[in-house]
Structure 1
């Protein structure tokens, strides 16, 4: 097993979402029914369920049909209904492999879920979450991101959407199909914007403040949040943002997206002038074809000393089309359109252990420093030995496997996060706050004695405050990634309270947590989130200076 490639990375993101959506590992969607609760929306009245102090509304439509002649286009207008519509079951996720305990995936997937402490017209902050899974899988019904505890314990309203994904959400047809398909390479993102507009028009009825909306997301959801931060159509509908383990600095250029479209048409034996035949291809066949094309990670960083490597054709995600997404989210600068919107950004300390676990890689735990060099050389070439020497100097007590995980983790999620924080700080507008999540799971990676530490995706259940003792006082079950130590409950509370306070005020804060200063280019303060939190100035300074010296940051 060598350095992770783009296909492995994307499949890992998919597995992360699938694992964390499994109810026995997360916060179950099955609740004891207390009472029904009804509320009016702009399209009609809906009925949800109030359980243990939280009103939950599932499967609310926020957009119309996107199948048939609406494939690759903006949705048909959503039709109002009469009477009371049930909002008791989650809606269909976007086209992907079947998801456990969710409806069958479908093209018509524009649904959202709402958790609120009460439908009482109070103006609570709204936390609008973008699910992970790259840009190809996932849903707003993943069990680990159940919003009940966050709403109940921190008096916020939580909203999550389903939206188009993969080929059906991001196939670039602008140059072939004409004005009806303008923005085709960003349909999945524009769906999310429609969800934000629904929140603006309706969330007051759910006890939320339409003028105090935070967008946030992890992994692919962080990349989606990065894009929304730069999209003119989204700008009126949110006030602050958080990008977690998904620094979307750059997205696909339209020239590359056009090459991907050509690849697809060639594979389907469709001439460019006959592109309309795509409207008749069954969605299942398009999903199969999507899997045959080269995969591309949902976000890119610098990877040559001469600048940014060109993104190769293949894969589906947001397109820098000059309109829906006018420019790269954070390249060359932070987006001016969001200059006055506060931002949180950061990553998990041991991101890469997730991918070692997912790939059943046990050999990394046996590496010596020569073995680390061999593993990293395909990615870093002539810089590899200098990179290892820089890390050994900065962390002289690190073992070879620890050094390998540290390098791989910061390269994957850390460099882009720091890049975003620096560019936002240079902008001189609203503050940006940089964090590392560092709670350490003691669970070993199967087949090794190496602990999971703080792997990719472990933060989801923590920040949703779903790492909590059972409400009935029974013995806590082991957390899938988080392990058994009771300290995880304190770390989860810190994480959730920091984020809920940021949603409320634009500045993260929590009881028993140090004051979190905004990031600046002198002291570079970073909040390390754990059962005991601390501010660390100039964290990873030597390591980051080396990454800068080889043009990776």
Structure 2
């Protein structure tokens, strides 16, 4: 059956408060790509766009933020990606909607991409497409680009008042994008009083940070954090911000008193200087990191201080996946292992004593899962996620829900859900991603997208087909285990997680400068 497509001189056109935008219509959904929501000078706060005459084209994705090192495409079977042209002027967003009638008042789902605070884009992963959520689940989807790495988080505050919040301008872009949603989304059929911010990995971290920015208060009404309660030391830098800035200036032969000239250095030269300065400091045992930093604009990490009052009034859904960055061991076809072989491999990995304790606790927490997968359990995101959920669940007046995506894939001998594995299902996009096409995928795809959509609509993730999903209250943690067979567990991590923390071999990201002589060096796509 042919699917309807049209884009004419007169439709689909939306008249926003600043001017008219023309997108395109396909299969029941209006698509508006590359909408400019703000402009900004380097290191400075964003400003709203000016009004315009005529009709602007919104049929092409906008520029994404430049990255400091191009990653090597690897693992595309598990997490397919897309590449796109970049510019530091990257304040663009995309909208999918099934109706541009202002009276429609559809829930708005505002997607923040992953990639830490250094990489990624609104279209980086194939499964970020908002078409199915708009068509099948009747919500308005917004995805957004914003400044990253040195463009969004380089602290230049020592060089002038106009740079006082340079370390947080990447987050300020997101706040400005949410203001755009408040002022414009009704023109696309969305309800500005029912906006859910959701993001994964670095995007989930940005969701937690937005809850701690007073200027963002009232701009969103629900929060979904996916693998985004990030350990503080994982991405933070260890060198003094001014020392780093001076090192960058030195690479470009710019005197300290002329630091303002750094604003005009062309992007390739700026990136080169940032990378050279980072490499020099790394040789001294100092690491440059890209993260928001507390100041007058951003209150604090809620696990290091307090949740803001408005954050405690916002329904929150927080989750992780089973393995995240777990390093799979080669045990052949895991489904064919005997019980004795499973136990042997777990004890070899964790030690005899730790292995037996973990086997006992694992069988209680994951009664439907092959025990050998205990070696893959995440020990990076889960501990702080548990802390975040329990703390917020105890203090918040709004409900806090928790999940873990625990699917085992028939892939390469068996693979437990990896970092990003849950995203296609929550976007109702399993159909787009070949590896999702495993037995029963349609049911899981429908259930997981439905629970996110119902949460966005009502603040409650319960939907038909799932067991009763209670909020986390009073220090207790109720976890929905999302798998081929979904079930809930109360305080399921209380026994197992301390054992994983005690016995699991440590894992850390490698922050190595790229070897320009090796085309296969550099980091892989992992977000």
Matches within 5 A, 1:49-198: 49-64=24-39, 66=40, 70-96=41-67, 97=70, 103-121=84-102, 122-142=104-124, 143-174=126-157, 176-198=158-180
Please state if 1:340 is matched with 2:322: no
TM-score, length-scaled by structure 1: 0.77
- The answer to whether the 8 A contact 1:390-1:542 is kept is no
Deviation of the 1:233 alpha carbon: 1.2
Match for residue 78 of structure 2? none
Secondary structure at 2:12 match in 1:
strand
- Residues 267, 315 of structure 1: alpha-carbon distance in 2 compared, 3 angstrom cutoff: farther
Find the aligned partners of 1:363 and 1:185 in 2 and give their Cα distance: 45
Match for residue 391 of structure 1? 358
CA deviations on 1:136-188 (whole Å, 9 max, x unpaired) are 221112321100101111111100111111111110111x2222112100111
Secondary structure at 1:323 match in 2:
coil
Please state if 1:284 is matched with 2:268: yes
In angstroms, what is the RMSD of aligned CA positions? 3.2
- The answer to whether the 8 A contact 1:494-1:530 is kept is no
Match for residue 289 of structure 2? 315
- Residues 370, 511 of structure 1: alpha-carbon distance in 2 compared, 3 angstrom cutoff: closer
Secondary structure at 2:410 match in 1:
strand
Please say which of residues 324-333 and 46-55 is displaced more in the overlay: 324-333
Deviation of the 1:133 alpha carbon: 1.1
Deviation of the 1:514 alpha carbon: 1.7
Secondary structure at 2:386 match in 1:
helix
Quick one: which of 453, 459, 462 aligns to 2:425?
462
Match for residue 434 of structure 1? 402
Match for residue 41 of structure 1? 16
- Residues 252, 102 of structure 1: alpha-carbon distance in 2 compared, 3 angstrom cutoff: closer
Match for residue 209 of structure 1? 191
TM-score, length-scaled by structure 2: 0.80
Find the aligned partners of 1:344 and 1:399 in 2 and give their Cα distance: 27
Please say which of residues 126-135 and 250-259 is displaced more in the overlay: 250-259
Match for residue 453 of structure 1? 416
Deviation of the 1:328 alpha carbon: 1.5
Match for residue 543 of structure 1? 496
Secondary structure at 2:397 match in 1:
coil
- Residues 335, 389 of structure 1: alpha-carbon distance in 2 compared, 3 angstrom cutoff: farther
Match for residue 424 of structure 1? 392
Gaps of 5+ in 2: 74-80, 280-284, 335-340, 507-527
- The answer to whether the 8 A contact 2:64-2:121 is kept is yes
- The answer to whether the 8 A contact 1:434-1:526 is kept is yes
- Residues 319, 263 of structure 1: alpha-carbon distance in 2 compared, 3 angstrom cutoff: farther
- Residues 59, 434 of structure 1: alpha-carbon distance in 2 compared, 3 angstrom cutoff: same
CA deviations on 1:180-199 (whole Å, 9 max, x unpaired) are 11210011110010000000
Find the aligned partners of 1:504 and 1:399 in 2 and give their Cα distance: 36
Secondary structure at 1:351 match in 2:
coil
- Residues 504, 401 of structure 1: alpha-carbon distance in 2 compared, 3 angstrom cutoff: same
Quick one: which of 433, 438, 448 aligns to 1:485?
438
- The answer to whether the 8 A contact 1:433-1:517 is kept is yes
Match for residue 8 of structure 1? none
- The answer to whether the 8 A contact 2:467-2:487 is kept is yes
CA deviations on 1:340-389 (whole Å, 9 max, x unpaired) are 10100010112125x65xxxx8699999568636xxxxxxxxxx997656
Match for residue 516 of structure 1? 469
- The answer to whether the 8 A contact 1:351-1:455 is kept is yes
- Residues 291, 462 of structure 1: alpha-carbon distance in 2 compared, 3 angstrom cutoff: farther
Please state if 1:325 is matched with 2:298: yes
Find the aligned partners of 1:518 and 1:215 in 2 and give their Cα distance: 19
Quick one: which of 202, 210, 213 aligns to 1:228?
210
Match for residue 21 of structure 1? none
Find the aligned partners of 2:236 and 2:301 in 1 and give their Cα distance: 8
- The answer to whether the 8 A contact 2:347-2:354 is kept is no
Deviation of the 1:224 alpha carbon: 0.8
Please say which of residues 43-52 and 266-275 is displaced more in the overlay: 266-275
